[in-house]
Amino acid sequence: MLAYRDLLETLAGRNRSGAEYTLDRIRALLAALDHPEQSFASWLIAGTNGKGSVAAMLESIARSSGERSGLTISPHLNRLTERIVIDGREVGADELAWAFERIEAARAPLGIEASFFECLTAMTFALFAQRGVTRAAVEIGLGGRLDANNVVPADGSAVVSIGLDHTEILGPTLAAIATEKAHVARADRPLVVGRLAPEALAAVRQVAATIGARVVALDDHLRLTPTPRIQHPAGVVVLEPTLAGAHQLDNAGIAALLALETGYAPDAVVQGIRQVRWRGRLQRLDHGGRSFLLDGAHNVAAAHALGAALRAQRVEAYLLVTATSGPRDAALFVAALAEEAGWPLAVRTCEPHGHRLQTAVQVANRLREVAPAAVEIEPFATVESALTAPGPAPLTLVAGSLYLVGEALSALAGEARDPIYPGR
């Protein structure tokens, strides 16, 4: 069987070959595998922010209902195996190798090309089928319409949020991005929609009408007083998410609505939302006598939500450790955070091991253009040095990149980490 490091290197090579924004290749690959994606019931979750949290809550609901549950997310924080979860546990390296060899045996004779993400999607569904998963929460990787995960039948879908992210691929406006993401809808099935800007909601409704999906709006069912709850014909679900932050109430409401719409009992929904755990989302850690708060926020909308959470927790002074990937503007991210929670006393930039990351110096130079003069901004050579150097605040916030959060979990909590990062 292929060694784990060799598997990572092979998949990294597939990543360099590039993805084609079409579903033809993944459909051909799954057909060669006798359609494992059709062997389990599924929810399909799209959105700019929050889709991972919603997917994790749904998986927990399915498990609380006695289902053999599956979850697939992207990207991972430290290990590729995190992306495939069965019955609440990430799969093992040997299972991943088995799935890859099965995919290769089906792909190679037919000459089917497959990118990293297409291979991983097929591997996920093959493992779900092999392990007898009965219900899976499937998080869209990017967009919706042409994402490889959008091949599952899905008896319910969700569009959690819409923001300006990945505009170079999905389009420059909220309406364009919403149109791409709304294609997770299925005919005669519920499409649960979070609280969206008017133009985004109009675009989602238009796509849903064309497909024949039934839109279920969070605003029509969420009640915040006297206790946060979902009011639905199938029952009332009191929302008590274990995940911190006011934005998690919306995520919990979306998960609850989608579960109720697809036949799950209110008691199981409540229990599943109470029990969910999700690393790197307002996660507190103590290390070396200091307090850290880790969050995967990496765009402007998420920065506002993170800042609001800091304000709600009465955080008055903090040090920020940050990194930036892709074309994102670090200045917009930190300014949005500061708008809600005030400017950090100091900012340390760094460059974790990952994909398309800007250098620590680039990020620091950009932040100096917008930050008040009193904010000390310094680039660091490594994530660990940025985390451990003495600082002026009692709390260190780690945010701006999921790659950064993963490496911080490894440095602060001793999490096992893959030797290479194979791709998105």
CATH of domain 283-413: 3.90.190.20
Neighbours of 284 (CB within 10 A): 11
How far is it, in rounded angstroms, from Cα 349 to Cα 333? Answer: 13
Q: What is the pLDDT of residues 201-245, one digit of tens each?
A: 999 999 999 999 999 999 999 999 899 999 999 999 999 998 888
Q: Report the predicted TM-score, pTM, of the whole model to 2 decimal places.
A: 0.93
Mean pLDDT over 52-80 rounds to 95
Cα Dmax for the chain: 63
In SS3 terms, 141-172 reads as: CCCCCCCHHHHCCCCEEEECCCCCCCHHHHCC
Q: What is the pLDDT of residues 3-40, one digit of tens each?
A: 999 999 999 888 754 455 689 999 999 999 999 999 99
Handedness of CA 314, 316, 318, 324 (dihedral sign): positive
Task: Give residue 167's pLDDT.
Answer: 59
4-275: CATH class: alpha beta
Handedness of CA 63, 69, 74, 76 (dihedral sign): positive
- Of 42-51, 169-178, 306-315, 322-331, the poorest mean pLDDT is in 169-178
How far is it, in rounded angstroms, from Cα 245 to Cα 307? Answer: 10
Question: Is residue 308 a contact partner of residue 274, using CB atoms and an 8 Å limit?
Answer: no
Ordered by start, the domain boundaries in the chain are 4-275, 283-413
Mean pLDDT over 366-379 rounds to 96
